[in-house]
Amino acid sequence: MNRIELRGNVGSIRIQTNNERKMARFTLATNKAYKDRNGEPVIETTWHNISAFEGKNIQNLDRLEKGSKAHVVGRVRIQKIMGLDGNERTFYDVLASRVNLIEEDSPLEFEL
């Protein structure tokens, strides 16, 4: 099963329209908090590249803005691209099947 579920803060965002269908490419920062060997708190941030097409489960992509909190469900997609130098590069991104904005005052509910 190829499924990923992320909750984090939106970074950069680019919205395009192709054949009257909106598509958003944005970054999402997720954090993991833990204590190191010395007991000091550490926050590790990971950036994810997200691609989302507006449709049944993804609406109002215009509401996404830098800094907003989002809950993304989708699948990991691998793309291999040949660079100008002749070397093959591999990129990982998340193809979203659902994107929800998280309001500051409402708790997040997960479907299991």
Q: Hey, what domains does the chain have and what are their CATH numbers?
A: 4-101 (2.40.50.140)
Question: Taking residues 73-100, what's their average pLDDT?
Answer: 94
The span from the CA of 99 to the CA of 112, in Å, is 16
Pairwise pLDDT comparison (4 vs 18), residue with the higher score: 4
Backbone conformation region of residue 104, classed left if phi is above 0, alpha if psi is from -120 to 50, else beta: alpha
Q: Give the pLDDT confidence score for residue 19 in this predicted structure.
A: 84
If pLDDT is split at 50, 70 and 90, which confidence band does 105 have?
low
| pLDDT over 50 at 111, yes or no | no
Map tokens 């659902």 to a residue.
98
pLDDT above 50 (res 2): yes
What is each CA distance from 55 to 58, 59, 61, in whole angstroms? 5, 6, 10
pLDDT exceeds cutoff 70 at 107: no
- pLDDT (0 to 100) of residue 103: 80
pLDDT score, position 62:
84
What is the average pLDDT value for the chain, to the nearest integer? 89
